[in-house]
Chain A
Amino acid sequence: MSNTEDKKLLEIKDLKVSFFTPAGEVKAVGGISYDLGYGEVMGIVGESGSGKSVEAYSIMGLLQSPGKVIGGSISFEGEDVLSYDKNQMIDFRGNKVAMIFQNPMTCLNPVYTIGNQLIEALRAHNKEISAHDASKRAMEMLELVGINNLEKRMKQYPHEFSGGMRQRVMIAMGLICSPKLLIADEPTTALDVTIQAQILEIMKDIQKKTGMGIIFITHNFGVVAEICDKVSVMYAGRIVEQGKVDDIYYKPAHPYTIGLLRSMPRVDAEEYERLIPIDGTPVDMCCPPEGCLFAPRCEKCMQICFKKVPPYAELGDGHRSACWLRVQEQMSGKEEQDNG
């Protein structure tokens, strides 16, 4: 017990990913760090282009040229993923870590049956398994994600499934090799709200049964509250705030997080309360400004914000925020303590 608790499932340190485009280097991910314990569910929240997916793709080694990991480390159960050779990477993908994607309509190959694609995922990592056993396992997985009429469904093609059903198939396919980590890249974004709830329910359920870790990438705070233990809020390729779900919700400590939460509809809102959007547009990652990248859009920004990148202010229990306001508060708090 203690052994697994000490060892983290996934540790990312100062990961930097850049895209080398003709227009110059685009720093999609500019040094992020986090860790994930066994069975933990972490949400990564941020707007489009904040580097959420790029970060996930680099864990899986799925970055396509011109994207490249240029710094930092990714370690999975203590092994350095970035130093894996081709064969190790193939063994890692799908077997130890699985990934499901945003658009279930296009993620399944239209010309092969569901059964074929499920069994293929299993056989890629388990060469000895017999055809019969593989098919049995595939059907078990389909049952697990709530698909009925298994014999018939196995022989059907993706176009005979609805979007929600296809996402279930994707989940079944991801989990067929019992991975320890599932990366879900906006798995509910393309689905309508009732189906979203069903998919989340299934993921939560399976997570409890299997105890796997999940990285849940989304831009929807509501979804995060449903399923996650902790949250990283990303902005322009950096994690601006990190902490337990409750801390982030009730004690948000970064102006960007506060802005995100304010721009989201709430059940407990006053009748005529309006949503408040965050002014401005995300920074151009081709030539990012100095200092805090959120400063140009921040209503509480100070002079120092334009000059130096804020360090993390530790707010206790893993809650930290990269904002000069918090850093200053802490410093003045310390001074008061010293004086008193």
Chain B
Amino acid sequence: MAKYTLKRLGMALITLLVIASLTFLLMNSVPGSPWLSEKSPSQVTIDALNEKYGMDKPVIVQLGKYLENVVQGDMGVSLNMQKNRPVVDIILEMFPVSASIGFIAIIWATLVGVTLGCLAAYNRGTWVDSLLRVVCTLGISMPTFVIASLLLLTFAGANEALRFFPTIFDASLGAKAYVLPCLALGLYPMCYTARQTRSSMLDALGQDYITTARAKGLRSPAIIFKHALRNALIPVITYLGPQIAFVFCGGFVTEQVFSIPGLGRYFIQSILNRDYPVIMGTTIFLAAFIILMNFLVDVLYKVVDPRIRFEGGGK
């Protein structure tokens, strides 16, 4: 396990290095600069600013310097959005907001998705199955911004009777503020999980060990929840990694629609403003986060399926 973790850590560092370098080069090749706004400063000012922030040097030198700083824990300061505030500070302020919404969304999506998937598999071919199929197909094919806008229109719109929730995210309102964003964000992963669970559950229910379990005289709940579900969860977990990534990246749209002061929304704004250190910081942070989540999912695999071994090959 320790050896495996080390190996994964090494691969993660290489991945991060590649992502950081690519982003840096790409960002610099896009036209525009952090100093341009409605009132363009004079060329002299721009040159002075460039020199101050080390942006007068060749890109490759800048990249080297940046990476050196990052290794030392310094991600630079914001250039224009929150002038001279350390990027690390900004991330630490914004991320908890995104993470709490993402976390709630993925939890409800997984719980409800797995339950509905089991329900559909158990009632295969009946109206329950058909209804769930329609709902899930809708949930998967509707873009997040449509769902988010629909939710807003319905539960925070003109209709007084239905206006339960605030239009604009306000953390001080507590749970009320979280309901719509978490619903909107979790719907796609929920539907996806439900479909995935349904098919892997049907697969598991057709396996020989289910016949064995029935021949042993076990009751249906034991057969479904003990024998079938655990096996059915293995493919579901495979999708959990990318789904967590989706919830945190797809959060961009949700955060925009609900005006949530989260990292995703800030990330987009930083790109529009060419706030180079913020772009770099959020990119590296999100990449590292996704890598970590994928690692945790792989560990979860091992918990569910004893056939998986981390070391020395094996099945």
Residues of A within 8 A of B (CB): 60, 62, 90-95, 98-99, 101, 103, 106-113, 120-121, 124-125, 157, 159, 170, 173-174
B217 partner, pick from A93, A107, A109, beta carbons under 8 A? A93
Residues of B within 8 A of A (CB): 207-209, 211-219, 222, 226-227, 230-231, 304-307, 315
A93, B209: Cβ atoms under 8 Å?
no
With contact pairs A157-B306, A159-B315 given, residues A107 and B216 touching in the complex (Cβ less than 8 Å): no
Residue of A nearest to B208 (CB): A106
CB distance from B221 to the nearest CB of A (A): 12
Expressed in whole angstroms, the Cα–Cα distance for A174 and B216 within the complex equals 7
B215, A93: Cβ atoms under 8 Å?
yes
Expressed in whole angstroms, the Cα–Cα distance for A111 and B305 within the complex equals 6
B218 partner, pick from A98, A101, A124, beta carbons under 8 A? A124
Expressed in whole angstroms, the Cα–Cα distance for A95 and B215 within the complex equals 9
> Which of A91, A92, A159 counts the most chain B CB atoms within 10 A?
A159
A99 partner, pick from B215, B222, B226, beta carbons under 8 A? B215
Expressed in whole angstroms, the Cα–Cα distance for A173 and B315 within the complex equals 26
Residue of B nearest to A122 (CB): B216
Residue of A nearest to B314 (CB): A159
CB distance from A325 to the nearest CB of B (A): 40
A101, B217: Cβ atoms under 8 Å?
no
A62 partner, pick from B211, B218, B304, beta carbons under 8 A? B211
A93, B214: Cβ atoms under 8 Å?
yes
Expressed in whole angstroms, the Cα–Cα distance for A13 and B307 within the complex equals 46
Expressed in whole angstroms, the Cα–Cα distance for A195 and B216 within the complex equals 24
Expressed in whole angstroms, the Cα–Cα distance for A159 and B314 within the complex equals 11
Expressed in whole angstroms, the Cα–Cα distance for A60 and B218 within the complex equals 13
CB distance from B77 to the nearest CB of A (A): 51
B215, A94: Cβ atoms under 8 Å?
yes
Residue of A nearest to B233 (CB): A111
CB distance from B257 to the nearest CB of A (A): 41
Contacts of A94 in B (CB 8 A): 215-218
Q: A62-B215, A107-B208, A110-B307 are in contact. List 12 more A-B contacts (CB 8 A).
A: A90-B218, A93-B216, A94-B215, A94-B218, A101-B212, A103-B208, A106-B207, A107-B212, A110-B306, A111-B231, A120-B216, A124-B217
Contacts of A124 in B (CB 8 A): 216-219, 222
CB distance from B209 to the nearest CB of A (A): 4
Expressed in whole angstroms, the Cα–Cα distance for A106 and B209 within the complex equals 6
